[in-house]
Structure 1
């Protein structure tokens, strides 16, 4: 389908690819992996035609179509609803619908046989294109990746960048191109949505290339792994776990070959040095010199999997109880987040708080931190020293500081050499530590903020989505760091590889209650699967099958009229909330534009003010959306009684 032959691509004088080749066949499921900066996203842009190779060729079959999800789509805006945007995937079918509508309009005055035949022909084509099911398909995909039914009618422009990216993903999945290219698709998805996309890609009829830092996602939806390393492309006939195992074996073979070759080279060089001046040995010396010149050198193996050693220092250990929540309730107006729930965090707990977006995970972190007002009681234990990491802390970094300077100002009392060692663990080596914060990428800023969190000498860490923007190597470094951490932590994350590596307890929010599973993530998944099976079996008991359900008692005419009055009142409240949502979304979009201005970060006080305004608006938006959901649910329940 696509053949890449002897591809070379240079940025300035630096080579990203040199004589690299890759063949993509129909239905291939490929994961593209490699360190940051090796050119994974660049390769996708070369395949899509956005970039032109320096040399080499890319051959595509005539019927090959390409769909490309990349971060550039974050800026896409539209007045149309997200359902209408997703339906743009069916351009031909929508054009047929428009043509059919035109013919039907024409038939109001023209009943000729020609017009009737034209309508029949168009309707046949429309049915062959499955035109009557495209709306249902679009709704299924949008809801699969996390949108609620009521969201489908909202304009695309009212959603944040991450949610707009989900719409673009839905549109691409519905287009079903011959080759679907996805660049970090899980960055904007919660765990249920990630699992839905995995299942969709498994049965996708075309070829897929995925760039992702989510190792579980790659394991579950790819069949071939292609590594970008040393300016070339190396294919492994399996998923990511197979790639890691196979690569380890290849590296052992390569390292042995390298060491054997180095020994041969040293022997040849000693011979040349020893007998260079002897005329009787001149032919043998020249033979060895030429042999060395012709030799294909085996490269020494460079291990990408860094083993790190963090030395955490606590000025004091916490007491046995770190934080205790007793009969805690949290609501925003009528929107209930938690209700009379109790939970306990003990010294040494490594807790992963999981679940879909919108369940209140970040709110619960703030409650545990003591920064969110609640009903009930929050007790903090003896000698607890907290450190909170969240994505907004990336904006709190002083953009004019150098990395080392930012670390020195964190107040950890560590020496410059100790801080350099910590930064080295987070891939900042040599002169990297003198880079200004303002020139760093999102992933690099995350690593700096995480390093600051870990050197704080806190004995209790609260980590909100710490793996966002991190590549695989950085995620593995963080896992190693937390495995060596002797304190207590709770983390919100959708990265299953990360959760599996660090958690000894699982928390989730269900029916406004904090639920706890005492075990690892793997054990939790197995237990949850068993619970679902039990619920499925119990859904339709035998007795229920034999006895027909009692008929629903109809409400009296008086009761129906009263219910209708309540519904009308609730609908007015719903319209009022919708107006507030529209207004708050305009404020949010305006603040996002301000935050996108790089010059803002040179004015720290103004930046902090705008950042606070933005987070207040986001929180208010969440409250209003939940209020809208509750009102819509009440209206639906009441209408069922009429």
Structure 2
């Protein structure tokens, strides 16, 4: 259907592609992957005819039509309703409708056989084009990607860029080109819409090429993967997960071949050096020199997967409960977000807040943060230090600062070497750290803002769509960092690979209430599927499936005594946590004092401080034992009371 033959494309003196080839067959479902800057979006623009190759050619069949969704469409504006814009996909059929309307108008005065025959012919053609169903098809696709029925008549210009992009996606899907090219289609979609598009693409009759950082999306809708790397296009005959495994095997084979070849080269060079001056060996030496010149060199493997060791540092440990929401209600006029909803966030929770756009996820995040006015009770726990990451953090970066300078203003008190280490984890190495913020791409700015958030010494992170603008490598780095994070966080995200990697609890808003699933995202999906299959009533709070022992019945007077005891134990626990925090602070102060040169040289003073330090450690160990005992006692009491 379409062939790319010996394609080369240069930007300045740099070869983005060099003699690259790829053949696309009808019904191929291809994922185009590679690091940022390797030329994935550029290739789509070359195929579309927006850019001309430096050399090589692209051949396509005469009946091959191309549809291209790219970020440039964000600026498209129109006075027409979004339904009318989507219906532009059927321009030939709409033209027939106009001709039919004109003939019907003519028939008010002209009943001749020619006019009647013309009308019949147009109507037959209109029916053959399924003209009577195009409106229903357009409505189905628009609603599938997240629009409400009442919004379909709103002008396109009244929607934000992300929603306008959805309309352009709907139009492309309705056009059904022979080759559909999608550049980051999930960037502006919520989770239900992403899943709808996945199902649509699985049965799409034409060929599809997708560029996406969403690994689960690729796994669910592609059948082969093409990697863009070192100016070449390498085909893998499977989805993204297959590609990762296959690439790993190929890299091992390549590395072995490289090492074997290097050993052979070394031995050959030794032979040449040893016998170069001997006339009797001159023919053999020359033969080996020529063999080395002709040798097709195997490249050493460069592993793009980065493992990071991110050291988090808290100045204070939070109390057991970080946020408590009781009977919280939130509305914007007639739009109800929450109604008498209750939820709690405890230390160690790693919560993914999921669901469709418009349900109030970002609003709930601000409610948890304490910056959104509410009706009801909201309390933040002891020693909670928050750090909030959202897209506006990108605009908050000082564009005139260098990256290293901007990181230094995060208030972490880290040394330049430590900051360089953090930036290295986020793919800024060597002189990259001196780049001005204003010259960075959206993805690079996101990485800087995320790095600032993570070094803030906060023990509670609030992350609103942290994977937006990040490529796969950066998403994996963020997952690794959050896996090593010992604090608490809540994140809004539509990236399932990210959620699977970091969350131990799932929150979602349903019927204006915060619902909670105590388990991983995959466990939540499995539970949800069972719920839908059996039509069981949804629970406000469910735990990961397990068999619970029967609880003994507790009488009302006994229950009241248990509740009083529980409250007493919780108060004792709070006091101990405060005492532990004080002891930790005193230890830090003593360590700083003992490190001073004048103290270190004063043996008598140093021994005295050492004794104090030992006593503090002993008190802290005792308090920690009491803390563990109280936690277990409280959990037992909670089970008896519930």
Both proteins in one fold, TM over 0.5: yes
Q: Equivalent residue for 1:568? A: none
TM-score normalised by length of structure 2: 0.83
Q: Equivalent residue for 2:218? A: 218
Distance in 1 of aligned mates of 2:264 and 2:320: 61
**Deviations, residues 168-194 of structure 1 (Å, cap 9, x unaligned):** 000000000000000000000000000
Q: Equivalent residue for 1:50? A: 50
Q: Equivalent residue for 1:380? A: 380
Distance in 2 of aligned mates of 1:195 and 1:434: 41
Q: Equivalent residue for 1:436? A: 436
Q: Equivalent residue for 2:357? A: 357
**Deviations, residues 17-61 of structure 1 (Å, cap 9, x unaligned):** 001000000000000000000000000000011111100111100
Counterparts of 1:58-457 in structure 2, within 5 Å, are: 58-457=58-457
Q: Equivalent residue for 2:459? A: 459
Structure 1 residues 93 and 84: alpha-carbon distance in aligned structure 2, compared to 1, 3 A threshold: same
Structure 2 residue matching 1:153: 3-state secondary structure = coil
Alpha-carbon contact 2:34-2:228 (below 8 Å) kept: yes
How many residue pairs are counted as aligned between the two chains? 538
Alpha-carbon contact 2:398-2:406 (below 8 Å) kept: yes
Shift in Å at residue 332 of structure 1?
Answer: 2.2
Counterparts of 1:572-583 in structure 2, within 5 Å, are: none
Structure 2 residue matching 1:530: 3-state secondary structure = helix
Shift in Å at residue 536 of structure 1?
Answer: 8.3
Distance in 2 of aligned mates of 1:110 and 1:377: 74
Distance in 1 of aligned mates of 2:313 and 2:271: 55
Distance in 2 of aligned mates of 1:348 and 1:252: 38
RMSD: 1.1
Structure 2 residue matching 1:351: 3-state secondary structure = strand
Shift in Å at residue 285 of structure 1?
Answer: 1.2
TM-score normalised by length of structure 1: 0.83
Q: Equivalent residue for 1:582? A: none
Structure 1 residues 244 and 468: alpha-carbon distance in aligned structure 2, compared to 1, 3 A threshold: same
Instruction: Could you tell me which runs of 5 or more consecutive residues in structure 2 were left unpaired when the two chains were aligned.
Output: 539-642
Distance in 1 of aligned mates of 2:432 and 2:355: 37
Structure 1 residues 264 and 35: alpha-carbon distance in aligned structure 2, compared to 1, 3 A threshold: same
Q: Equivalent residue for 1:502? A: 502
**Deviations, residues 111-149 of structure 1 (Å, cap 9, x unaligned):** 000110000000000000000000000000000000000
Structure 2 residue matching 1:78: 3-state secondary structure = coil
Shift in Å at residue 415 of structure 1?
Answer: 0.5
Distance in 1 of aligned mates of 2:19 and 2:334: 62
Shift in Å at residue 333 of structure 1?
Answer: 3.0
Distance in 1 of aligned mates of 2:182 and 2:367: 36
Structure 1 residue matching 2:152: 3-state secondary structure = helix
Distance in 2 of aligned mates of 1:434 and 1:57: 40
Shift in Å at residue 335 of structure 1?
Answer: 2.6
Q: Equivalent residue for 2:516? A: 516
Q: Equivalent residue for 2:603? A: none
Alpha-carbon contact 2:531-2:537 (below 8 Å) kept: no
Larger Rg belongs to: 2
Q: Equivalent residue for 2:574? A: none
Distance in 2 of aligned mates of 1:157 and 1:82: 9
Q: Which moved more, 1:474-483 or 1:336-345?
A: 336-345
Alpha-carbon contact 2:226-2:234 (below 8 Å) kept: yes
Q: Equivalent residue for 2:630? A: none
Distance in 1 of aligned mates of 2:330 and 2:138: 35
Q: Which moved more, 1:338-347 or 1:89-98?
A: 338-347
Shift in Å at residue 377 of structure 1?
Answer: 1.3
Q: Which moved more, 1:411-420 or 1:281-290?
A: 281-290
Point out 4+ residue stretches in structure 1 off by more than 3 angstroms: none
